[in-house]
Every structure is written in C-alpha cells, then in structure tokens.
Structure 1
C-alpha cells in the first residue's frame, strides 16, 4: 500500500555529483555508446578551449590497454592554488563541482564549447576513477577521484619544464551499457576538431591495436572541404572561403560545388558539431539561395525555363562547412545539437549573400557552372515530382499499394517485422517458402541495380529495380523520407558471398545512404551472412562460415565419411536450409550496418561508386587483405 503522507522526509537532497550519477542521461545524452564517447569529448573540449584562447597547439588522446582514455595537452594547466570562496584547491573545485570553471569568467575564455561548466565534473562523476596531472609553474600536481569524489589531496609529485594538463579516466561499468571505446568514433570527432582549429595538432592513439592518426590542417575548413571533395569532380579549382567578424561573433564558411548530386553540409558552433543545424545553418541556406537566384535573374538565365531553382536545387552537389564562434551560444540541451541564437540568422544571411554575389561577379565561369547546375536540378526536381505522382497513382492501382513480387508478412508492427531484400528469383523463391510468414517479408531483386551515386533523384524514382524497394519500405525517398513510417524494423540485405553479391550489397547500401540515410542512422539496416559450408556425417550437420571452421568441424566429426558442401550462392540452399542458416533469428548471423563516422562514410561511398578510378583502385589494393572467403 502506498504511503499518502508526503512530507519533508520525502525530499531528497543529492550532494556533490550524486545527481549526475543518478540521472547521467541528462548530462551526456545516454548511457550507451554515444554517451560513453561524450565523456572523451568533454575532456578534449577543455583542451580545445585552451587552443581557442591561444595557449595550446598539441592534444594527444590515447585509448589504453586497460580500457582507459588519457587526454594530454600543452595548455596553461588547470589552476591548483586555493580557491578563496570554496576553501579548496581550484583544481578540485573544477573537477568535482558542477557549474564551476573558467568558462564563466569572460577574461579566461572569450569563446568556449563547454559553455555550461559541467563537462569535466560529469566525467569525474561517471568514472570508476579519474586521475589528473597538472604541469604548471615548474611543478607537477596530482589528484585522484573515484565515482565523483576526491580520494587524495592535490599533491605535488615532481618538477617540470612544460605546462599542460593530463587527464586519464576509466568509465564506470555500473552506469554504462558498454565501456569499450571505439577508435572510429573518436577519429570522427578529433578529425573535425583538427579541421576547425587550424594549426592545432591532434593525435589519436589506440594502444590496444597500435592504430594511430595524426591530424593537423593549416588550411582549416578550406582543407576540410578539400578533404570532403577529394574524390569528386569539383566545379572550381579551389573552395570559396568567406570570413566575417561582428562584435563577439566570428563566422567562417568554405564551400565548393562538384559534379555529383548530393548535398554535403556540416555546421559547427564553438567547435561543436550542430547535427540538427540551427540559425547559422538556416542563415547560410537563405543567403546562398538569395545570391544564386539574384545572379540568375540579373543574367536572365530563366527566360525559357518553366521552373525556377529552389533552395534544394541550388544546394545540389554542394560541399560546405560553416563554423561560428560566439561568446554566448544558446543550444538546445546539454548535448548541443542545435544552435538557437536568433540574431545569428540575419547576420549570416547578409554576409553570405553579399560575399557570394561579389564572388560570382569576379568569377563568371564558376558562377555560370553553379547556376546552370541549379537550373538542371530544378528540371530534374520537376521530373521527380511527376515520377512521385506516377508512383503514388501506381500504388493506388496496385493491390495493397505494394510491389507484386513482395511476399509480405501478416504482422504490421514495424518493431517486430523484417524485410529481406534477396538477390535473384531462385533464392527469393526459397526464402519465401522457408521464412516465418508472420513477421518476415521477402522481396526478390533482379537485374542490374542502379548506381544511385551517379543519378539524380528523378532517375532513382523512375528506376524499375528501385521502385519496388521504395514502395515496400513505405516511408518515401530522398527529401520526403520519413523514418517513422517504415513498415519493417529490420531491412536485411541477403546476397551471395561472391563478387556480384558484394556489388549488389554495395549498390543497395549506396541507395540507402544517399536517399534513405535515417534507415542507417537509426540502425534499421542489416546484412545477412549465409554460411559458406555445410559439413555432414550421417545425421550430424554443421553450417560454418569460414574455411577454418570447416576444418574444425571435419576434425570434430572424424574425417572418414564426412561430406562437405560449399554454397556458391543462396539459390543452392533449399527452403529448410535457408531457414535454418539465414532466416531463423535463433541461428542466423546478421551484420548491423552502422555509421560512426559520417564524413568517412561519404568519402568511401564516393570512392567505391563514383567516377574516379584511381582512388577506387587504391582503396581496393589497401583493403583487399581484410576480405575473407569472397568467392571470385
């Protein structure tokens, strides 16, 4: 029975960092893999703030063999003297108290990413232990914390001829779902920071594997755009760079168009990747659209056109990086994915408009290439609109608005359903017979799949191999795609383990990445891994995925009388075998398609499916040694 007496005894006051440990997601977004890596970003952001203030140009991040992360910089070092108000060493105040730090003192940091002053103290709270060493004024100072509490005093442990801070921590396994750090996750963020802070050297080292990256870009965000476009065909020799200063605002923009059809824009505020954009991004888009349309009007380029370019048309093939640095950024929440400073939009809009018009006047060849590309995109958009209408009319006419080859499932709850995209009619037929009809749908694929890396959206919508996939998934495509409307929680690519199968898988992944990216971002895409061998002796049967596993199974059964079948394709399996090995959730092996690094993902899709041959050859030669059991 519930006690109805609600008194002062029911009011709990959490001291120190207890509140952070009780509700960690409020501070770092989640206790999953993203929240885990957010701890590293909070520590690194402090070093970056030292770089922004002009006192640091070297940062090293190390993943240790013990599962710790160590962040070292050559900044000024956190102050260690006694804090007059708190009667504790300043180092301990910074490390163990929320809303304490130099970010609130306008003289120490004019611009800061860690604005809220909760960063490093949250890391202390959520770590099994954290150790800090401060090199300052010729001395080395040390303190250790365990689960949010200092367990040593600030002590002097040696002498030094340098300055800086070294923080090493191990996340608390009782709080996080996983405590294993990803080299690739960290690579993405640290590469960004190196681009955004020209001249700062950032090293990432993984002692578990020996992998290491050494980032330093003297060109800043211009180097960033060149990196993003390095395997594409640009429309101008160099990226356009725009910078402006207004009071406490610093604005930087680098942009370059390429011959492709994808928009690739990254926005940052005080070095933080604003994944959901904000006023700086909307200001840029408005200024760009105004500038291009003004130039088109002044040059009278639309006299014979029935359509005029929209913002989406104008951004086709655009690669851009926007970076703003301001004193008092207003973000949505602690994880800071959207910037909300209202005055920023008009400032950025005006700067971009004026600078772009000047650029167009001074570079008529580039201006013509960009504007004509926008007009072509507008034509394609109109063709795509007609294709969508045709697709919708076709959907209404067709039974259940679904493609004829789709064998649908009976359950309609997406959280419980699966769609298998199966290479070939033969394997598709076996899959239809072998599946569990209640929750597994089968869509056979046939013929040559379109390379969507080289196609505008109108060609994609009109393609008879892709239309059935769009209809089956049921959530639209491109700008209209809405991940909340998907009909299946798992989209599973099932192709042969040979060169053709690998090509089909890559074509499908390219399509999902370019036109249904939220499917990948939200973890809905998988690749089925059918076995390569069946090993049988009498009634004993084992399905295995590698030659080593095959040899082990032969030894286990005894070599005499053992029958081995190698599956060269899915079509060689009967329905029962396909269910047992590839469809049955209890036995099958699925590979989840993740996107830890959007920049690297974009680069690799461009290499694999774009026009440039040389980068693709280099990629294949570099990575061929990692391929296993590919049947050529």
Structure 2
C-alpha cells in the first residue's frame, strides 16, 4: 500500500457530539492509504550467486575502507591456516606483489579437484564461486576451522578483477582463473588482459618430484567496490601473520614484500606458542611480577545444532579446546587478546567473559582468605584491579563457533563461558596453593590489593587535579608559593629542600612565572613502597596534588599545572640523595613528565670566587676541581683573589641575588634535563640503588669502592 492522496478537510464535531474541534485552526491534513497497483512481484529482486556480495560487500567483509581490503587477505590466509591447524600444512607464504595483487601459498592438501556429485562442478569451482560451500560444515575435512562460514574465499573472488588459483593434488597441477567470480581464461598477465568466459578447472602439468601438495591463490581486488583511497595496510598483514604464527606453533609463516625497490622477506615461527606471544605483547619496560601461567585443557558444552542433513537437533554435545597464557607486570596497562580457531576476536566474546569471571572470583576469594592483605572493612578487589598490569592471550578451538558477524569480531557461543571459567579456576587455585609458586602468588595478590586501594583514592586525587584560582587555592598545600601565570608556557615549579631554601628562593624568584614547593628532608623511597604508601606520605602527596596531573595510570600530562618542574637541592651528598629520591618518584609514578622532557635538576654552585681591584669579577664554580683550575688561571693572569674562597653549604646560605643569578634566572642558570633514553638501563639502576634487595646494592658498593675520591668527601 502507498500513501497517495492528500486532501484538506474542515474540522467537524466529534463522535460524542460535544462539538470539539480537532485543531485550533479548524483544519488538518489527512493522508489516505490507497492500493498501488504499480507495485507487484516484478518489482522484487532476487540476487543470485555472488551478486549479493558485489551488491552489499560490507555485509561480507565488514567495511569497504582499508580494513575491508585487509579483510580479503585474512579470508584467504585463514583457509591456509586451517590446513596447518588440521596438521596438513607446515608452511604458509604471503606475497605482496608490486602490481597490487596478493598471493597466498600453502603446502596443505590442496582444494579438492574432483567433481562434486550434487553440483556437477569441481571442488575448486564450488569453493570459490558458491556461498556457504566448503569442507567446514561438520564434514570430515576439519575438526575446527576459522573459515567456517564458507563465504570468505568466494567473497574475495566476487570482489576481484582477477582471481587465479593453482592446486597441487593427486600428482597433478590444476589451475583456474576468474573475473568477479566468473570462470574463464585470461589472454596474458594481469587483471587487464583480455578475458574469455570458458572452461573450469584445467590440468597444466605434473607435480615436480619432491614438491608437496598445496594451494596457491593470487588475486587483484577491484577498487570500484571500495572507498576512494582504500589500500592494503602492510603492517596489518604483518601483525596478522605474527599473531597466527603464535597461535599455530607448528606452522611457519613468511611475508614477502615486493612493493618496494628492495624486496624484503620476514619469517614468523614461534615454537613456544602463546608463551612467546605474551612476552611479545607485554609493554616495553614492563617487568614481570609473575611467571607466565599457561592454562590448557578441554571441556564440553551443549547447544542446538544441525546434523548432516540440515535437521536441527537440540542439546548436542560439543568439545572445545582451550589454551590461555597470562602474566602480571609492574605496569598499569592491560592487554587481553582473544582468538577463536586462530581468528582474532577484537571485541572478545564469551571466552573472554569466562576468563575474566574466573580470575575475578578466584583471586578475590584468595585476597579475602589470605591473612594480612586486606585491612578491616576494606572492600574486595574488582575485575579492574585484577587485570591491572596483565598481559593475556585467550585462544579456544571450537567446532562450528557462532559469531556476531561475518568478520568474527566477537564470539557468541554461549557454552564456551563455563568451559573457560572452569579450566581457569582450577589452574589458578592450583597456582595459589602450590608451594613452589606461593611466594609469587602472594606478590600478585598484593599488587591487586594495592590497585584496589589506589582506585578508591582516585576521587580524592581528581578533586585536586586541576589548577585552582586564588579563591580556590585552599585545596592546595599551605606551603605552596604559587606564581601568577595562568598558563604552562612559562610557568615552572621549583621543588626546594627545606624552609631555609624556601625563604631565600621566595626573595630570589620571579613571582610572575616561578612557583616554590618546599619538602622536609628526604621523602619516601617509592621504589620499595606501594602507591598507597606513596599517597599516604605527606611530601609525596603534596607533590602529586600541586602538579595536578594525577599519578600512575591516571597521570594526565595535559593536566599538568606547570610547564617545567625543577628539583633544587643542596650541592652536597644529602642533596644528591634527595634528588635521587625525587627522580625515583617521578620515574615510577609520573613517567610521562620525564618522557616529555619537562623534569630538570637545578645546579647551584659550590664556590664563589671574587677578584680584587677596581673592577672586581665574580665567578661561580660547581666542583672542587673547577674551582682550583679557575683560581690558577686567574692568578696566572695576575689577578688577586679574595681569600678564603667561600663555599656554599646549602641554598639557604646564598643571598637572593646569588640564588637568582646562579640557579633560578633562565638567562644565566645551568640545569640538567632528566631523560629516559634507555628505559631498561634506568629501571635496572633504580632497582639496584633504591630497590628492596639489599645484597646486590651491598655488592655494588663494595665493588665500586675504589672509584671514590676520599679526599673529595665532604666529611
């Protein structure tokens, strides 16, 4: 029915005779429905064969941008991987040709070349031209499969200007070509060669001696079916091959890139499987808190499924294989990658749900039952606390899995949740109870409790995470001497040692852009402490609050209240220790500040050399050697020096002019930028000098004793 007639009518009395009007204007528009005899069965469209793919490509490959172009490679590659998973292939190669084509070769069994009884065409043509055709629908071809829908290869064929397949099977080499899914013969190389629709599979020769069976597919996708500028992301192809090599340790993957002037070749083979993958995915510099836990096993579940004749059966028992590897690190980032039958599930699914449920339940119970971890009335950790710093890979092999879409981004097979949950709970409980891993487990539980406590204090941090105006300054520490500048382009914060240095610094500074925050002596050694202990420490908490950018995983560099942070401590041993403690605090809990090059150490002088005469000259030196060398040069030049040469014992002994000129004036001062050029080396040094283990530090001090100049010690 189509709405055809539009008539203007005048309002009349209502059915109850009350004389009410339908509209205040007295008129309304009425659309009347009348049959449209022009709309009949001939207006209906039935898309046959691969026409549906070409009409709506996004339904079959996810999108028509660059991701869709990359999905074409994945569909062909997944078929070769299925051969490796089934134990019939040991090598898969992907070749990126200079003409834009992609080739995937494997040494599996080869696509069946005999004639299919029901369709009357070869197995090759059936697989590559018919939707939902293949050996992955419950037959004997594959136990589990990634390309279970039987759509992938035929969809790639439908969207390709040219699609060539070579099959080595039964001692013969078979070839076949297609254009947009239509079989035929190309008279020449490349997709622009003349094409004649014609015969199907052809035998072109015999398999060479020593050559294995296998399948080779090369295709040229048709840009007309994709958005303008859509291209193949080579890095995405490389990542796909690497991930698959981790998941199928028995197969070696090779990527040959011939699109550059100098062709490159990369091989991916990881015999340790998921254990290697966890190490690869772990963030750089993230030191492990635990070893890599590997969970393997099988489980059964039940679901409704169709039998070989297509008749739906209820309560069919399925068997799933589970392989999971995970570990905790010292960082805050979490990485959980999920796969089903080697296919990456970007949005996770039921297997991830089972994994996370098991961890949350088991570890929360362990925290509650372990003496000394939780304080009275403290809440148990949540899933976010458990996953903090975790790197995990969850891989399940499932017959006929269900996904939310053809792109398989999310597993939806309901029974997998309980299978994964049961296996993970059993393994984690054994790990917690095992004497060999009990210490390691205790360390992980403590990390989880610390994460929980930090989460509960985040709201307090956020309240002080933004710069306050003068009226709102009550939230800042009372000892902060703030500056007037409202932006971070010029503003800088000096963290000074003690109230005496604060007094001199207050007189010396430029109040327009320089702020001062005094600390009392040596702060907490955060390398040995938890974040909760850091936040409980008054000096550390004041620094975090004044900077206003948070700490740890909540640190937001864009919220920093000052453009530069300068540590200004005395030029003695105690001052060096204070600088080390502060640098450790920033490296551990505010590392982006260092990575951005915004942390500095001020360099106050040690000596003040003054010459006599009509035009006296003042020179500041920073070391004993520099002072002695300067004195010799001045005496050699015939200048007299005021003696004794004063030596500054601390910042508080300098007057305001001296402190401004030598240490605080941006035009004349010298500062050292704190950097993290070598993260691993910095982590090792921090752990050696400031960590919990005393023995390595004692050994280092003994071994380095000969490097100390005893005459230079300020005793």
* TM-score bin (small chain): 0.5 to 0.7
Structure 1 residue aligned with 2:82, among 25, 49, 60?
A: 49
Q: Deviations over 1:572-610 (max 9, x none)?
A: xxxxxxxxxxxxxxxxxxxxxxxxxxxxxxxxxxx9899
Rg (Cα) greater in structure = 2
Structure 2 Cα separation of the partners of residues 84 and 115 of structure 1: 22
Matched, 1:271 2:342: yes
- Where in structure 2 are the equivalents of 1:417-456 lying within 5 Å? 424=489
Alignment correspondent of 2:327: 256
CA contact (8 A) 1:253 1:322 kept: yes
CA contact (8 A) 1:235 1:369 kept: no
Structure 1 alignment gaps of length 5 or more: 399-404, 408-421, 427-444, 448-454, 473-502, 509-606, 617-632
Alignment correspondent of 2:366: 295
Matched, 1:183 2:251: no
CA gap 1:468/1:112 in 2 versus in 1, 3 angstroms: closer
CA contact (8 A) 1:234 1:256 kept: no
Matched, 1:372 2:446: yes
Matched, 1:137 2:170: yes
State the 1:300 CA deviation: 2.0
Structure 2 Cα separation of the partners of residues 182 and 343 of structure 1: 35
CA gap 1:609/1:154 in 2 versus in 1, 3 angstroms: farther
Structure 1 Cα separation of the partners of residues 559 and 681 of structure 2: 30
Structure 1 Cα separation of the partners of residues 230 and 397 of structure 2: 32
Matched, 1:115 2:165: no
CA gap 1:389/1:79 in 2 versus in 1, 3 angstroms: same
Specify which structure has the bigger relative contact order, considering alpha-carbon pairs within 8 angstroms and separated by 6 or more residues: 1
CA gap 1:111/1:154 in 2 versus in 1, 3 angstroms: same
Alignment correspondent of 2:217: 167
CA contact (8 A) 1:424 1:446 kept: no
| SS of 2:177 mapped into structure 1 | strand
CA gap 1:507/1:70 in 2 versus in 1, 3 angstroms: farther
Structure 1 residue aligned with 2:205, among 158, 181, 206?
A: 158
State the 1:345 CA deviation: 1.3
| SS of 1:313 mapped into structure 2 | helix
State the 1:340 CA deviation: 1.3
CA gap 1:289/1:390 in 2 versus in 1, 3 angstroms: same
Using the size of structure 2 for normalisation, the TM-score is 0.57
CA gap 1:467/1:74 in 2 versus in 1, 3 angstroms: closer
CA contact (8 A) 1:140 1:156 kept: yes
Structure 1 Cα separation of the partners of residues 102 and 514 of structure 2: 48
CA contact (8 A) 2:98 2:258 kept: yes
Using the size of structure 1 for normalisation, the TM-score is 0.64
Matched, 1:65 2:92: no
State the 1:42 CA deviation: 0.1
Matched, 1:147 2:180: yes
Structure 2 Cα separation of the partners of residues 406 and 122 of structure 1: 62
Matched, 1:207 2:258: yes
Structure 1 Cα separation of the partners of residues 157 and 247 of structure 2: 27
Q: Deviations over 1:261-297 (max 9, x none)?
A: 1111111111111111111111111111222122222
CA contact (8 A) 1:307 1:379 kept: no
CA contact (8 A) 1:67 1:180 kept: no
Structure 2 alignment gaps of length 5 or more: 5-35, 186-199, 301-318, 473-483, 492-512, 516-529, 536-540, 550-554, 562-591, 598-674, 685-715
| SS of 1:250 mapped into structure 2 | strand
CA gap 1:504/1:122 in 2 versus in 1, 3 angstroms: farther
Alignment correspondent of 1:127: 160
Question: Which has a greater percent of helix?
Answer: 1
| SS of 1:194 mapped into structure 2 | helix
Structure 1 Cα separation of the partners of residues 594 and 168 of structure 2: 52
Name the Cα RMSD after superposition. Answer: 3.6
